[in-house]
Amino acid sequence: MAARLTANVKAGGCASKLSPKILDQALRSVPRMTNEHVLVGYDTADDAGVYDLTLPGGAPLAMVQTVDFFTPIVDDPYTFGGIAAANALSDVYAMGGRPVTALSLVVFPGKGEVTELEQILKGGADKIHEAGCVILGGHSISEDEIKFGYSVTGLIDPRRILTNTGAKPGDVLVFTKRIGTGVVSTALKKGIVAQEDMNASIKQMLTLNRHAAEAMQPLEVHGCTDVTGFGLLGHAREMALGSNVTLEITASSIRYLPGAIEYSKAGAHSGGLHNNRDFVESCVYMDPGIPVEIQALLYDPQTSGGLLISLPAGEAEKFLAAQTEAYVIGKVTERQTKPLEVKL
């Protein structure tokens, strides 16, 4: 019997990302380069970079670039490949772009089961093709801990870029998926997950943010980010600081994956969750009446998570009519003492 993919990883999926505190400290020392063609760089911790390709006299055109890869979050190789692809594509969707090409990134043990590698690559390829994107090649490294993902390039109208720095007071905050992939995957590693709960998490992680991105196209959207490894509050922090506003989130409005609250109560918290909390907590006013298991879930690293969107109330109604799985989780206000306020 083949070994479980998740058996030998310290953290699965986006929970395997480097601590945001360490990353933030390291990036401060990297010299910034200015270039008139860079429309979105890494200064604002956005989901992807955007480079202007517009030629003199030509139609406006820009390129969106991102890269994302991680350790197995599920045991089935084909499913792992698909989730990794959906997660990487999400960054382009969060910017309002259309993914067109991808390069695969593979870390796999030299003595591993070749059939597993084949299934990982096939699962990823099928999901990339579902997005209307093509794989041009990739790079591989032999190493004991499996990792997989993609570098994705997309195209976008430079006049229609969505960033995490445009939220405005009075906006409604809409979210497009449920929270809890991190605690569910940690419950899997602990051997306490119910199969139906794991299936619900997998189904969500395999769902592209493509339709949500397309639904935003005709609307007036002020800000957008996808919620992945830094958790809901980690990515909300980036939006609040970049927009110089406060995001007021209503905890009781947030929807969770089946079993997520119970697994959080049972302590199925990854190292990534604790890293997120350590980095973000000082920016958050948390209503003391919110249960501790819910507080933890707000920092839970999400894999292939939903889009957090800031837009006027009237536009939010149109979006919600088109995206029935989406829901309102809060609002944007003028900057308060803390950039994030979580109410009951």
Taking the CA of residue 157 as centre, how many other CA atoms within 13 Å lie in the half-sphere pointing to its CB? Answer: 5
**Is-contact 47 91, C-beta < 8 A?**
yes
pLDDT, one tens digit per residue, over 53-104 is: 999 999 999 999 999 999 999 999 999 999 999 999 999 999 999 999 999 9
What interhelical angle do 195-205 and 181-190 show, nearest 10?
A: 140
Q: What tokens does 340 get?
A: 């994030």
Residue 9 pLDDT:
86
| pTM score, whole prediction | 0.96
Q: Which domains does the chain have, with CATH numbers?
A: 14-156 (3.30.1330.10), 172-343 (3.90.650.10)
Is the pLDDT score of 322 beyond 60? yes
Catalytic site residues?
A: 14
State which H helix or E strand residue 182 sits in: helix 181-190
249 three-state secondary structure:
strand
CA angle at 317 for the pair 174 and 203, rounded to the nearest 5°: 50
Residue 15 tokens, joined: 């929970």
The one-letter amino acid code at 313 reads A
Residue 1 has pLDDT above 50, yes or no: no
Return the number of other C-beta atoms located less than 10 Å from residue 260's C-beta: 26
- Determine contact, residues 301/231, Cβ cutoff 8 Å: yes
pLDDT band at 10 (very low <50, low <70, confident <90, very high): confident
